[in-house]
Chains A and B, each alone.
Chain A
Amino acid sequence: MAKLEASGTVVLGISIDSPAANAAFAKQIGVTFPLLSDMNKEVLTSYQILKPYDVKGGKYQWAQRTTIVVDKQGKIQHVEQGDSAVDPNSAVSVCTGLHKPKA
């Protein structure tokens, strides 16, 4: 996290949880960055990462695990999906790379 702050990067967690659930989750895992509630699934829809889940016969649409890096110009610099997106290292290196003055 320190590396990220030094590179001028913020992290935003996003899921369909309510702010109340996210507040409890943030406390439990000790995150310091905001956890955002996409309760209407608007962002998941616009980012096209709604994924169907089956839970005990019920069908739900929640987020596909995804990491996206957006640069200061609002442009996407990195997209990672699925299990590998759990590991933040590549996103972090993209950001610390963005911070370096371009040769």
Chain B
Amino acid sequence: MKGIVTALAGIFLLLGIGGQVVAPVTAAPQEEAVAKTNLKVGDAAPDFSLLSDKWEQVKLSDYRGKKNVILAFYVLAFTGG
């Protein structure tokens, strides 16, 4: 979403320099290199059990009935993001 907004802002900026507004430009589909999951809202989250940084097994289903869980997948440690 943010990407689209930024792209649109960029397009408007370019158009703005010319001082004219041309017919609405359909934003070209950006090359989105996203490994898109097919999981959707309402799907059951696949269960897993993984070792934590404290070498403990953490199982998603352990939180069932107790907590909401935010799964934050990141690329690599120490890479800022």
**Given the known A-B contacts A76-B41, A84-B1, are A63 and B70 also in contact in the complex, defined by CB atoms under 8 Å?**
no
CA distance A72 to B62 in the complex (A): 10
* Complex: chain A residue closest to B77, CB-CB: A25
CA distance A95 to B65 in the complex (A): 14
Q: Cβ of A37: which chain B residues have Cβ within 8 Å of it?
A: 50-53
A65 in complex: contacting residue of B40, B64, B75, CB < 8 Å:
B75
**Given the known A-B contacts A34-B54, A46-B48, A74-B60, are A63 and B73 also in contact in the complex, defined by CB atoms under 8 Å?**
yes
Q: Are B53 and A48 in contact (CB under 8 A)?
A: no
Q: Are B63 and A43 in contact (CB under 8 A)?
A: no
Cβ < 8 Å to A, chain B residues 15-56: 32-48, 50-56
Give me 9 other A-B pairs in contact (C-beta within 8 A), A64-B35, A95-B70 excluded: A15-B76, A47-B37, A67-B70, A67-B73, A70-B45, A70-B69, A70-B70, A78-B41, A85-B73
Contacts from B to A (Cβ < 8 Å) = 1-3, 32-48, 50-56, 58, 60-61, 63-78, 81
17 CB < 8 A contacts A-B: A7-B68, A14-B50, A14-B71, A19-B53, A24-B78, A43-B46, A48-B39, A62-B75, A64-B37, A65-B81, A68-B45, A70-B68, A70-B71, A75-B42, A79-B37, A83-B2, A91-B72
